[in-house]
Structure 1
Amino acid sequence: MPALEWRPLTKADAQSSADLLNAIETADRIGEYYTAEDTLQELIDPYADLERASLAAFDGDRMVGYVKARYKQHPEKVHRIFLDGGVHPDYRRQGIGTRLVKAGIAGAKTVHELHHPKLKLTVDIHKAEHIAGTKELFGAQGFTPARYFQYLEHPLGTAGEVAIPDGFRIEQWTRDLDEDFRLVRNESFQDQWGATPLAANAWQNKFTNHTLQPEISFLVRDKASGAPVSLVLTLSWEADTAATGIRDAHFMVIGTVPGYRNRGLASAVVGHALRAAAEHGYDQASLSVDSASESGAPGIFERAGFTPKARYVRWAFEV
């Protein structure tokens, strides 16, 4: 292993993190590019304890690898802590990845004991299946595949009118409606694998930040009761557009509360978002879906015209 400096991440590492992730993209080809603003958003995540649960490797001023853990605020029964990280392509197969994964597990245990010591702990890593060496690296540390997710895309062109079921109306995201969006997300995800409720600060950090696209984010409301019942929240990354020339509308959050499912609301709001994205000059829409989702989401997206482009593995280590 080369002589490197090892220390926890800090907010000052935003540009170094972006440079590293963009270098990783040249090898892994997952279609993700970053600006310092993007990585800073992750570094100031209120549930990422950088001091206790992160580690970065530096060769001089160059960050060549990192890991950080994100814990949950309101888990039930199982506390799933998510590890994020990577190693620069020029520094792989030198033991750096192994040290980072071990450090991530240790950091996860530390923050778990601070926040939810009475619950069972599971450590998760989410990576594209095609990335070389992940199976060997994670398997050697006791991780096994727990779930598979599909990344899907939909080319955009001229879109027709989308019918909204009788008794409902669609509203575009505004700051005043943001809390309704969050509440629908939490209620609609309560029966989804691995999901936990998001507090307002986590919601704002992860979703309603500089990447939010209000003109393609919609809420469905029951006219009779006034209750918000379904949503699509769309994000887009300027770094991706600059690197690829493709303007992508990523449907980051899609959900319908359980009592309103099977009424065509998800299909309607997705169709409405596709039409809006086309009208605003986006080239494609994309989303990720749990392959084993029990809500029928994969079928909804297939019927809407989305096609699979890549598969991701959720690796899990039960502590």
Structure 2
Amino acid sequence: MVIKLRDLSLDDIPAWHRLRAEIEEEVQTGEHGSVEEDAEEFARTTADGRGAVVGAFDGAELVGYFSVNGQEPTGSIQSVQLNGGVTPRRHAEGIGSLLFPAMLRRGREIHAEHAPDVPVRFDITGNTDDTAQAALFTAHGFLPQRWSVLMRHGLTDLPDMPPLPEGFTLADADPARDATQLLTAHNEAFKDQPGAALWSADDWQEIVVDKSQVRWDLSSVVTSGDEVAAYLHTEA
């Protein structure tokens, strides 16, 4: 078995989509969408040279990948978002161990080219029940800093919404009206979270506001005066 790495192109998106669907079938995050959505993510990641999507090929078969996305620096640090996976059919063959150092090298190259004057932090998300993945991460110096909880609830038998405190108003989110205030509210809410990085206006617009999966008709804001105090961001 000789695994070769190369940057993916638009022609590889159908194979990349199938690979991610296989990975999602195992991890069950509920976050994998259509091939069109993968194409959109690919375009966002690779558009300005701050990111890349690299595949691991066994012959013509795409068996693993990683993506690297250097965020626009905010404050005194650049966050480089890392992601990747290997088809469950090829686990325990060393493919992840090949991909991971290559991913870090690519991330360092992107940081050196686009934000050499600020420190870099590599951010990657893992599943707490995947011990092999955790061992791979920690072997390369990664430490757990924050946790997200994946929760599910059906759309029937929903509880009634309690009344809002006096002075607060619930309204539908409007990207044309609320985008800047949503960014401000998000950065304020998460600024003290371990491992958090503030979003720039450009990244927020591209990755959140303009994302085709966003359901603005199912998104809401709670306002107090002219400020957004809380928000619900929905994707589907």
What is the TM-score when the length of structure 2 is the normalising length?
A: 0.84
* Equivalent residue number for residue 170 of structure 1: 170
Structure 2 matches for 1:30-69, cutoff 5 A? 30-45=29-44, 53-69=52-68
Change (3 A) 1:12 1:175: farther
Q: Which amino acid aligns with 1:186?
A: N
Mapped pair 1:198 → 2:197: no
Q: Which residue of 2 aligns with 1:187?
A: 188
Following superposition, the deviation at residue 21 of structure 1 comes to 1.0
Q: 1:216, CA displacement in angstroms?
A: 2.1
Q: Distance in 2 between matches of 1:114 and 1:235?
A: 33
Count how many residue pairs are aligned between Structure 1 and Structure 2: 233
How far does residue 172 in structure 1 lie from its aligned partner after superposition? Answer: 0.6
Shift in alpha-carbon separation, 1:153–1:27, aligned structure 2, 3 A:
closer
Structure 1 Cα separation of the partners of residues 229 and 161 of structure 2: 21
Report if aligned partners of 1:72, 1:79 keep a CA contact under 8 Å in 2.
Answer: yes
* Greater RCO (CA < 8 Å, at least 6 residues apart): 1
SS at match of 1:148: coil
Superposition CA RMSD, Å: 2.6
Does the 8 Å CA contact 2:53/2:67 hold for their aligned counterparts?
A: yes
Distance 1:19 1:46 in 2: 18
Deviations 1:5-58 (A, max 9, x none): 421123443322210011112333434433212212221225776687442112
Is the 2:79–2:197 contact (alpha carbons within 8 Å) kept by the matching residues of 1?
A: no
Taking structure 1 as reference, are residues 102 and 219 closer, same or farther at Cα in structure 2, changes over 3 Å only?
Answer: same
Letter in 1 for 2:212: H
SS of alignment partner, residue 38 of structure 2: helix
Deviates more, 1:184-193 or 1:112-121: 184-193
- In structure 1, the partner of 2:148 is 149
Name the residue aligned to 2:214.
Answer: 212
Question: 1: distance between equivalents of 2:228 and 2:53?
Answer: 38
Report the TM-score, using the length of structure 1 for normalisation. Answer: 0.64
Q: 2:96 is aligned with what amino acid?
A: G
Which structure has more strand as a fraction of its residues? 1
Unaligned residue ranges in structure 2 (runs of 5+): none
8 Å Cα contact 2:51-2:67 kept in structure 1 = no
CA contact (8 A) 2:219 2:233 kept: yes
Change (3 A) 1:34 1:50: farther
Paired with 1:81 and 1:166, the residues of 2 have a C-alpha distance of 41
Whole-angstrom distance in 2 between the partners of 1:62 and 1:199: 38
Query: Unpaired runs of 5+ in structure 1?
Result: 237-319
Query: What is the aligned partner in structure 2 of residue 232 from structure 1?
Result: 232
**Structure 1 residue 185: Cα displacement:** 2.2
C-alpha distance in 2 between matches for 1:63 and 1:206: 29
Residues 49-103 of structure 1: per-residue CA shift (max 9 Å, x gap): 6687442112344321111111121233343312100011122222211111011
8 Å contact from structure 1 (residues 53, 106) kept in 2: no
1:147-202 C-alpha deviation (Å, 9 max, x unpaired): 33322233441432431222222221234224233333233333333121232454
Alpha-carbon distance in 1 for matches of 2:70, 2:50: 13
Equivalent position SS for 1:83: strand
One-letter code aligned to 1:73 = E
**1:41 partner amino acid:** E
